[in-house]
Each structure stands twice: as structure tokens, then as C-alpha cells.
């Protein structure tokens, strides 16, 4: 960790291959949790306690379809915790986010970039120094989120990634919400060069996305209804 940089931990939930990210100010100890998962809430809280942090905000990159967010349970266990999600997600939360909003924690902050296409309410969170971007399901490592349900639109996703993520500095680290091959991080430069979908033209990309023929997520019918309400209510 470089001097002045936020404390950072990348955590993993194996059933849905979801990454949860913990960031904190090393002086004030204020912490933010990105994309918590219901089944790993106790693990996350144990780590937060061990590191002597104060969790103030739990944010989601979008309304997830493959797992239930841990936000509701976290609000039950952590007094005063605020939940955040996109105002376009259709989900409840204490704070409804939109383009340019900032989530402060100590001297640091995350800046919101709207990156719809996987869903209407997808957000990318960028650190103040633009060294890290938490991209949710918009862009994955050498891939991207599917666009065949939850208001998905391949054209919007392509435009979101090229205008909101690929315009970040080349060295900016990309931390996605999922990985299924054991990869943990990429960079803007890497994805611009090597992402097999996003190095295509828009028309080629749309054709690829419209012909993936993927099975629906196993927890789709459970996760989406739960995630629409648990930003304010306990599980």
C-alpha cells in the first residue's frame, strides 16, 4: 500500500464467484464495502473488526441477479450504516446515486460513473486518484456482463464502457464484480488491447452479445426481488 493510499482488500464468495471490496481511510478508519454478499457478511464484519475499521457505507454496483446482496443484513448488524445504489436500478437504498456523485470515507472518496447496459442501474466507482475502478458487471476481465435480461442492451453497454471506463488512465486498475477463471485484476490498457469482445466494432459486439445463449442465473428468481428491497430492509 502506497503512502496516503486507502487500505484495500479484495474478498471472494465462491458460489456466485463474486468479489466484495473493502476500502478504508487509514487515519479516520472510515470504511466502504462494495458489493457485499449475504452469505459472507459475518466474514466481512470480522475482518472489519480485526482491522479496527468503522463501516459507514455499503454500496452495490447494480441490482444483482446471481446472489442476494449483504446490504440488508449489514444494516441490521451495523448501526447507522448507509446503503447506496443507482437511482436507475429500481431498488431501495438510503442513498440513490447518479453520475458524478461522490461517496466520501475519510480523506478519500469514490466517484460515480453511470455505466448502464448490463442493467439500467449499473455503476462504476472510481477512486479519487483514478487508480482503481470497481466496474461491477459492466466490464469483466477479458469479458463483460451479459445483456439478455434486466433491461440489458449491448449498444448501451459498449458505449458505457468506451466512454466511461476506457477514458480512465491506461494504468487504472479494473476490479470487476465477478471472475470465473481465477483472475483478480486488470487495467484499462489491458482491456482496451486484449478484451475479445470490446476490441470489436459496435456492430460486431452487438452480434456477439445477441448470440451468447447463456442459461439464466440459478438464483435469478430469488435474488432480484430480494435485492430490490434489502437496501432499506433487513433480510
Residue matched to cell numbers 462504476: 124
Is the pLDDT score of 66 beyond 70?
no
Question: Once rounded to an integer, what is the mean pLDDT over residues 204-219?
Answer: 85
pTM here is 0.93
Alpha-carbon distances of 167 from 20, 152, 171, 187, 189, rounded to whole Å: 24, 22, 11, 12, 10
Residue scoring higher pLDDT (213 or 158): 158
Cell of 58: 455499503
**Residues 122-148: tens digit of each pLDDT:** 999 999 999 999 999 999 999 999 999
C-alpha 144: how far from chain center: 13
Residue matched to cell numbers 458505449: 159
- 60: nearest Cα among 233, 225, 235, 231: 231
Residue 27, classed as helix, strand or coil, is coil
- Residue 16, C-beta contacts closer than 8 angstroms, at least 6 positions apart: 37, 66, 67, 178, 219
Other Cβ atoms less than 10 A from the Cβ of 195: the count is 20
CA dist 35 and 20 (Å) reads: 5
Are the C-beta atoms of residues 152 and 118 closer than 8 Å to each other?
yes
- Residue 47, C-beta contacts closer than 8 angstroms, at least 6 positions apart: 9, 11, 22
Q: How confident is the model at residue 234 (pLDDT cuts 50, 70, 90)?
A: very low
Reported in sequence order, the residue ranges of 14-155 that DSSP labels E, i.e. its strands, are 18-24, 30-34, 54-59, 82-86, 95-97, 102-105, 108-114, 123-127, 132-136, 139-140, 143-144
**Residues 151-182: tens digit of each pLDDT:** 899 999 999 999 999 999 999 999 999 999 99
Cell of 129: 486518484
Question: Once rounded to an integer, what is the mean pLDDT over residues 71-92?
Answer: 94
Alpha-carbon distances of 233 from 71, 122, 134, rounded to whole Å: 9, 21, 25
Q: Give the pLDDT confidence score for residue 216 in this predicted structure.
A: 74
Percent of the chain with pLDDT over 90: 81
Is the pLDDT score of 232 beyond 60?
no
Residue scoring higher pLDDT (114 or 213): 114
Q: Give the pLDDT confidence score for residue 231 in this predicted structure.
A: 58
Question: Once rounded to an integer, what is the mean pLDDT over residues 37-59?
Answer: 97
Question: Once rounded to an integer, what is the mean pLDDT over residues 55-69?
Answer: 85
- Residue 15, C-beta contacts closer than 8 angstroms, at least 6 positions apart: 39, 67
DSSP annotation of 99 reads T
Are the C-beta atoms of residues 94 and 82 closer than 8 Å to each other?
yes
Question: Once rounded to an integer, what is the mean pLDDT over residues 67-91?
Answer: 92
Amino acid at each position: 500500500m502506497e503512502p496516503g493510499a486507502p487500505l484495500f482488500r479484495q474478498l471472494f464468495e465462491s458460489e456466485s464467484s463474486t468479489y466484495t471490496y473493502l476500502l478504508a481511510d487509514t487515519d479516520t478508519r472510515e470504511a466502504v464495502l462494495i458489493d457485499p454478499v449475504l452469505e459472507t457478511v459475518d466474514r466481512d464484519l470480522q475482518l472489519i473488526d480485526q482491522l479496527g475499521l468503522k463501516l459507514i457505507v455499503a454500496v452495490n454496483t447494480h441490482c444483482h441477479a446471481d446472489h442476494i446482496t449483504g446490504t440488508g443484513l449489514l444494516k441490521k448488524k451495523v448501526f447507522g450504516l448507509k446503503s447506496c445504489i443507482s437511482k436507475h436500478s429500481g431498488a431501495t437504498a438510503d442513498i440513490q446515486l447518479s453520475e458524478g456523485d461522490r461517496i466520501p470515507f475519510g480523506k478519500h472518496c469514490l466517484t460515480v460513473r453511470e455505466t448502464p447496459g448490463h442493467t439500467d442501474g449499473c455503476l462504476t466507482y472510481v477512486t479519487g486518484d483514478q487508480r482503481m475502478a470497481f466496474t461491477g458487471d459492466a466490464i469483466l476481465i477479458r469479458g463483460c456482463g451479459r445483456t439478455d435480461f434486466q433491461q440489458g442492451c449491448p449498444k448501451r453497454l459498449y458505449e458505457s464502457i468506451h466512454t466511461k471506463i476506457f477514458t480512465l488512465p491506461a494504468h487504472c486498475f479494473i476490479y470487476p464484480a465477478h471472475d470465473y477463471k481465477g483472475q483478480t485484476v486488470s487495467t484499462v490498457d489491458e482491456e482496451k488491447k486484449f478484451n475479445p469482445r470490446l476490441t470489436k466494432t459496435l456492430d460486431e459486439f452487438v452480434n456477439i452479445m445477441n448470440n451468447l445463449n447463456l442459461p439464466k442465473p440459478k438464483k435469478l428468481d430469488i435474488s432480484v426481488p430480494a435485492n430490490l428491497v434489502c437496501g432499506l430492509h433487513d433480510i
